[in-house]
Amino acid sequence: MTEKKIIDLLVSGGHANAGPPLGPALGPLGLNILAVVNKINELTKDYSGMRVPVKISVNTEDKSFEVTVGTPTSSALIVSELNIEKGSATPNSEKVGDLSFDQVLRIVKIKFPQLLSNNLKSGTKEILGTCVSMGVTVEGKDPREVQKEIDSDSYEEMFSKGE
């Protein structure tokens, strides 16, 4: 009977290497680590520099493997949109960047399958919550203020255009 082993990892998009976390996870399985690394780098090259969740399904008998790539974390997508290194250590007092509402919608559309939301409006509010914890403003405003504006239908035109 074939035994499958599933390994979940978070790797740097397009820059995976045989060191941790890949090497220690794959080494005991007897896989060709270089082949796995090359496959991961090929599949994650569009997410260069972002932390990307990767699932490796390994058949332990014939040493074959399959790589499935998830989407980067919401915070990684925000950091990428703003071209900053990381979010604020003190988000209530120090702001590190400002997103346009269009940029927020672009992030929502990328992350939507993984979000807990069932519509674009609530998905946008989830991403705005991440902006709050990262010290990122939206259109020059506190993201909580934008969430209230969404509740009062101020952005209804943007949502009808985006869906």
Residue 138: give its domain's CATH number.
1.10.10.250
Domain span at 57: 4-69
Conformational region of residue 151, where left means phi above 0, alpha means psi within -120 to 50, and beta covers everything else = alpha
Q: What is the pLDDT of residue 60?
A: 86
Is residue 121 within 8 A of residue 110, CB to CB? The reply is: no
pLDDT recorded at residue 153? 86
Whether residue 62 sits in one domain with residue 29? yes
Please report the pLDDT score of residue 160 as a whole number.
75
Domains contained in the chain, number:
2
d(CA 2, CA 138): 51
Single pTM value for the model: 0.76
Which portions of the chain are predicted below pLDDT 50?
none
Are both 154 and 85 inside the same structural domain? yes
pLDDT at 137: 96
How high is the pLDDT of residue 132? 96
pLDDT of residue 163: 56
What are the tens digits of pLDDT across the range 135-146?
999 999 999 999
Considering the domain architecture, whether residues 20 and 100 belong to the same structural domain is answered as no
Same domain, 124 and 158: yes
100: left (phi over 0), alpha (psi -120 to 50) or beta: beta
What is the per-residue pLDDT for 162?
Answer: 59
pLDDT of the residue at 3: 83
Domain closes at, from 18, 34, 69:
69
pLDDT of residue 88: 92
